[in-house]
Amino acid sequence: MESAGEYDYIIVGAGTSGCVLANRLTQRKDLNVLLIEAGGKDDYLWIHIPVGYLHCIGNPRTDWLFRTEPDAGLGGRSLIYPRGKVLGGSSSINGMIYMRGQKTDYDRWAELSGDPSWRWDGVLPLFKRSEDHHGGANEIHGAGGEWRVERQRLSWKILDAFREAAAEQGIPKIADLNAGGGEGSSYFEVNQRRGIRLNTARAFLAPAAQRPNLTVMTGCHVERLLFEDTDAGKVCRGVQFTGGGRAFTATAQREVLLAAGAIGSPQILQLSGIGPAALLQEHGIAPLVDLPGVGENLQDHLQLRMIFKVKGAPTLNTRASNWFGKLWIGLEYALWRTGPMSMAPSQLGAFARSRPDLPAPDLQFHVQPLSLDKFGDPLHRFPAFTASVCNLQPSSRGHVRIASKDTYAAPKIVPNYLSTEDDRKTAASALGLTRRIVASPALARFQPQEYLPGPQYQTEEELAQAAGMIGTTIFHPVGTCRMGRSEDPTAVVDSRLRVRGVKNLRVIDASIMPFITSGNTNSPTIMIAEKAAEDILAGSG
């Protein structure tokens, strides 16, 4: 094997967290950093046009093309499970929605990890540090950071009416969905700059790439981590990877930082001999550290897509149904960077309670002025809108496990959606609440008619069954290398994100979340990287 050199830090994965880490660590001129990415450069046009996610998801140029195993909770269906395989990772193909979650999410993390620095008042400054909010700096938002947050450059009459209808059901209209909690609806804010997607490669990596102490290698597939036995125990010394038909090793003088995401990080750990011993032995891998939690605790937001036909309201279905409409949509974006081509996949958001006695919202709505049978299918020919609703804190847990010792083989992804009675009850309540909103006076003039799942589902049991029929991932996998206390046998990393049982190895991405955040997960992952970088630099001398 060829040597790719010696570095202070090696970052595995140039996705959301990897790009942030590369930026922050190379601000120290005395630190040399290697960033390794399996995908290519983010120079594909459709990455940067907001609606281009339709061309990036399911595209081997930008997506790992994962699928889940058939899921009993979804009637045996298998789902596409997009993960970014390009500089910027999933921030290059996601929905661009800027969302932090609720204060209580981080307070739970702090309690579980035993580290008060993970509380909301500890992580809020980290969110603000990287943020460049369109409204400027204030007590909850930052300005001047790399992560631009803007209002969406469009509005829809049908979405305004849904927002009014939600208010009639006790879900108030609010100005900011990122204040830390509470019920309310508003248009989502997005990570764009004047109608162009902002991924973490442009925001964080591009400035860092000009520094002489950063080396970026794309098209390189990490096969395993390299360890050395010492008097102090097992120490991670580097990585083994392939690229361009050549095999390499690289050495880390200080640490290896695994930032391959909620699917990639547990897979690499397992292939390297860190994980459940029985699983590793099953695939002929000698266990180095028996960590039963690696790959377990998979959590995701299952969105329940309800579709309603309407009359008298323009929707994207009708606007894009003819060549003139499509031409105007293209011109509108080309001339002003506005209109449907600047749209995030979801435009209107709302947080609500499935039951009035809950202390905080447990549901999130993503409402869209369009409808289709499933992702990738053409829009329906009739005017309609989609009201997707997800359980923010599901109790169902899945797992990610290697399928073989072949480092190029996709792992088995088993989400176990709707596998608990609580999740099924919450799903039934969510569908019922959506129906009450749509039946409110504010939407009456559009004569909404339920198209999916259909009005024949009425009882709680029937609605839970319908949820399994229409549910699909909203692409928020987390938790597979969970953070926890030293006495927790299922914890993979400690509160400083150091892997248990080895030295000089951290996991820094969405996989460390002990509980999924109450909302979209991309910007919380940036915060995780900010926190880890701060900790690494503080201890690096």
Written as one string, the DSSP assignment of 24-76 is HHTTSTT--EEEE-SSB-S--HHHHSGGGHHHHTT-TTTB--EEBPPBGGGTT
- Residue 424 DSSP SS3: helix
Q: What is the pLDDT of residue 269?
A: 98
Contact status, residue 196 vs residue 92, Cβ threshold 8 Å = no
Q: What is the pLDDT of residue 540?
A: 67
Q: Which of 133, 301, 380, 476 is catalytic?
A: 476
Confidence of residue 381 (pLDDT cuts 50, 70, 90): very high
Please confirm, yes or no, whether 476 is among the known catalytic residues: yes
Whether the pLDDT of residue 124 is over 70: the answer is yes
Whether the pLDDT of residue 154 is over 90: the answer is no
In whole numbers, what is the pLDDT of the chain averaged over residues?
97
377-381: list long-range contacts, CB under 8 Å, 24+ apart.
379/316, 379/317, 379/320, 379/321, 380/307, 380/317, 381/317, 381/321
| Owner of token pair 């969405």 | 510
Alpha helices in 169-306 (DSSP H): 200, 206-208, 261-271, 277-282
**Whole-number Å distance between alpha carbons of 149 and 405:** 42
Contact status, residue 285 vs residue 271, Cβ threshold 8 Å = yes
Mean pLDDT of the region 1-10: 97
94-109 pLDDT per residue, tens: 999 999 999 999 999 9
41-87 pLDDT per residue, tens: 999 999 999 999 999 999 999 999 999 999 999 999 999 999 999 99
Whether the pLDDT of residue 541 is over 60: the answer is no
172-209 pLDDT per residue, tens: 999 999 988 889 999 999 999 999 999 999 999 999 99
Whether the pLDDT of residue 366 is over 60: the answer is yes
- Partners of 274 in the beta sheet? 289
